[in-house]
Structure 1
């Protein structure tokens, strides 16, 4: 039970790290921020130091430079789900299935694009202000790639929809996508220029390290509980406390651990593997590119440049984990799938094994809307990313910061038009249904 009394909210569980990602492992060590070990008072306390929490902190300081803000991160910045992300800040709807896409009205499409481009705007501003290089932040666009006639069909349908919306893009034939990827396995591709590609762990660390002085970040400082205290709230941590006028819950699926959005969030993990470094001469094509699959829940692939050579990232496999934790066995199982997909796509790289494997948590809702808004007086949620964490969580953090300060914007109006998350079926129907649905969607993606 998370709510123990009126206006008292106690965490029923704390975040667990699902193995260090390859992004973190290949970064130089970073000096983390201190643990909170005293009682402090601020204007806004943010629970969670990922995409949503750090974006909220940056937006608050831009809107009111005098505002005192504290961000509480349960672990080390970059080592949680944000640092396990595949690194796409996408500006267009991610699902390229014609069935999914054609059901969206033009207005809904425009809202989605505005939301995701708000995330890119903030990221672009931070990159320019801090001189981030393309190894961290690269506005190079993305490819959607097909491996079958069914995938080709979906890309053509998606292209038609993008043309109707006036969105720039380019279809690529088999030889053109081979010239990009160096692989003969892909049958077609679609390039859209608006996506930004990031090294997610470096990006999150960069966001943390360029916070304004009025925004204090504490790492390894989980929020254990918060309760009403006078006109504000008192957040308790293992070694300290924060008295705040307002709170932003930016902890994605763990918002449910405090009793909010109960039976409205589906906790899903996705998995990734990253190869060892290899000699770039072993694989033709461009040395840096990033591609999402033609069919939803297919395989995402990136080619990454490092000082000692290149690497390939492969991401696929989804699992429903209501305990918001996964085992090493689950990661190994997904890794075996990744090995087969890698071998199929890149036979020229035979013998190049995977060096890193990991999983990352997502929080989904049944009706594909965020868990967003004022959930108690002075408590605001920016959770339920529904995948696309870099885009959706960033936008939610920005919008939550604006709502805290009563700032009006088109982004805020988009969020105000969204429905609330609907309730899930009772157990065990939710677990059975979620597992069947994920298995079906993966089967439908096939070779993609």
Structure 2
């Protein structure tokens, strides 16, 4: 039997959720239900797995268990980039002898985008939810400029399109003269992550049933099937897809293999769009790894700026209000440094979001028990990699040997982490060093 030692906790109010109208969550499970597949986790991985299952077999009985309300967890705290190219701009991340591997990764990423695009087309979403507009990588000085130039050379090697922008050109986009250069890549989709995941959750009807505020407390083999216990109910299912990311460790799985890292974000109050020139909607990741992600979000009541930076290692999968406040002070400085014309515009929302990483950067994927399939460890690119992992887990659970399943099965096992206290000392020092190296970026 696998028993949860504790349930997920989320601190801080996600601005993405707060900007949306109130939503009535699906009722929690009360009683016993039977299913072909039960999906534990209602984030990118879990809901993508459920969508793929329903595409493969419309009559398949699928139950999704979400511990809280959809979008209140890590998915609704995401920055909203479904990327097709590697997330970090550095030659070490993208180049060298790994060009074939990178092409491989790009194909996986674009399969995730294809699933999301299909949903957006089906629902007729506007750009406020799903915008295939591409993204910028922005530099804030000579160090970042070098990475932008290096990245362009690596994209040339794999014949990927891009556009380089000088300081004047990126200023025309962002409305500020703070950035020194940028590179634009067209394949990224920008989403309002809370709206996207709510829309995906609310798309399920018929044989796919979602139960919110229904944490899985335990699961155990029961003859030829599995039995999942919740606070007020039971699910009997032939197969389980574990799509609860780092929370899988609370069931005793992947112990000593998952790094629990939190990243932090702040979002301003709505401001008069005339206060900031440039385009009213754009998204930028940092030119230097571990730098600062920035988005301008257009709204009916004005525009907002999202700042995401700061990383902490939290092996207990908990953060404090103090940690959010400390990160928020950093965000305030980064906002003022980039947008001096917005001086006096306060942050309205601050939050933390959990990531599960592995030492060797691979997913925790596969059939870990007969009939139990894991889609764990997004490694910091949750919207893209968790979606792809969920698709692959769904196909694997139905016995498919697709190209995507072969890819995920081909990953090495997650490398075991060093013992404590060396792990905490090393992880904390590594994150601090990378943030220090990023400097102004």
* TM-score w.r.t. length of structure 2: 0.99
Query: What is the match of residue 154 of structure 2?
Result: 161
Q: 1:397 aligns with which of 363, 367, 390?
A: 390
- Does residue 380 of structure 2 align to residue 380 of structure 1? no
Q: Is the 8 A contact 1:61 1:212 kept in 2?
A: no
The whole-number CA distance in structure 1 between the counterparts of 2:73 and 2:422 is 29
Q: CA distance change for structure 1 residues 89 and 441 in 2, over 3 Å: closer, same or farther?
A: same
* Post-superposition offset of 1:159: 0.5
The whole-number CA distance in structure 1 between the counterparts of 2:96 and 2:255 is 28
Q: What does the per-residue CA deviation read over 1:98-122, in whole Å, with 9 as the maximum and x for residues that have no partner?
A: 2232246122102211111111000
The whole-number CA distance in structure 1 between the counterparts of 2:219 and 2:406 is 29
The whole-number CA distance in structure 2 between the counterparts of 1:217 and 1:438 is 37
Query: What is the match of residue 140 of structure 1?
Result: 133
Q: What does the per-residue CA deviation read over 1:258-291, in whole Å, with 9 as the maximum and x for residues that have no partner?
A: 1111100000000000000111101011111000
Q: Point out where structure 1 has 5 or more consecutive residues left out of the alignment.
A: 1-7
- Does residue 191 of structure 2 align to residue 176 of structure 1? no
Q: Is the 8 A contact 2:144 2:288 kept in 1?
A: yes
Query: What is the match of residue 226 of structure 1?
Result: 219
Query: What is the match of residue 283 of structure 2?
Result: 290
SS in 1 for 2:238: strand
* TM-score w.r.t. length of structure 1: 0.97
* Post-superposition offset of 1:179: 0.5
Query: What is the match of residue 4 of structure 1?
Result: none
Query: What is the match of residue 120 of structure 1?
Result: 113
Q: Is the 8 A contact 1:87 1:200 kept in 2?
A: yes
The whole-number CA distance in structure 1 between the counterparts of 2:67 and 2:381 is 22
The whole-number CA distance in structure 2 between the counterparts of 1:272 and 1:22 is 9
The whole-number CA distance in structure 1 between the counterparts of 2:401 and 2:187 is 26
The whole-number CA distance in structure 1 between the counterparts of 2:251 and 2:69 is 21
* Post-superposition offset of 1:176: 0.4
The whole-number CA distance in structure 1 between the counterparts of 2:12 and 2:268 is 16
Q: Is the 8 A contact 1:114 1:411 kept in 2?
A: no
**Structure 1 runs of 4+ off > 4 angstroms?**
none
The whole-number CA distance in structure 2 between the counterparts of 1:103 and 1:441 is 21
SS in 2 for 1:126: helix
Query: What is the match of residue 299 of structure 2?
Result: 306
The whole-number CA distance in structure 1 between the counterparts of 2:88 and 2:102 is 12
Aligned residues: 441
Q: Is the 8 A contact 2:216 2:228 kept in 1?
A: yes
Q: 2:429 aligns with which of 432, 436, 444?
A: 436
Bigger Cα displacement from structure 2, 404-413 vs 113-122 = 404-413
Structure 1 segment 309-388 matched on structure 2, within 5 A: 309-388=302-381
The whole-number CA distance in structure 2 between the counterparts of 1:204 and 1:88 is 13
Query: What is the match of residue 38 of structure 1?
Result: 31
- Does residue 56 of structure 2 align to residue 63 of structure 1? yes
Q: 1:130 aligns with which of 117, 123, 126?
A: 123
Bigger Cα displacement from structure 2, 98-107 vs 381-390 = 98-107
* Post-superposition offset of 1:20: 2.2
Q: Is the 8 A contact 2:90 2:151 kept in 1?
A: yes
Q: CA distance change for structure 1 residues 104 and 400 in 2, over 3 Å: closer, same or farther?
A: farther
SS in 1 for 2:75: helix
Q: Is the 8 A contact 1:275 1:354 kept in 2?
A: yes
SS in 2 for 1:105: helix
Structure 1 segment 185-204 matched on structure 2, within 5 A: 185-204=178-197
RMSD: 0.8
Q: Is the 8 A contact 1:74 1:220 kept in 2?
A: yes
- Does residue 92 of structure 2 align to residue 108 of structure 1? no
* Post-superposition offset of 1:144: 0.2
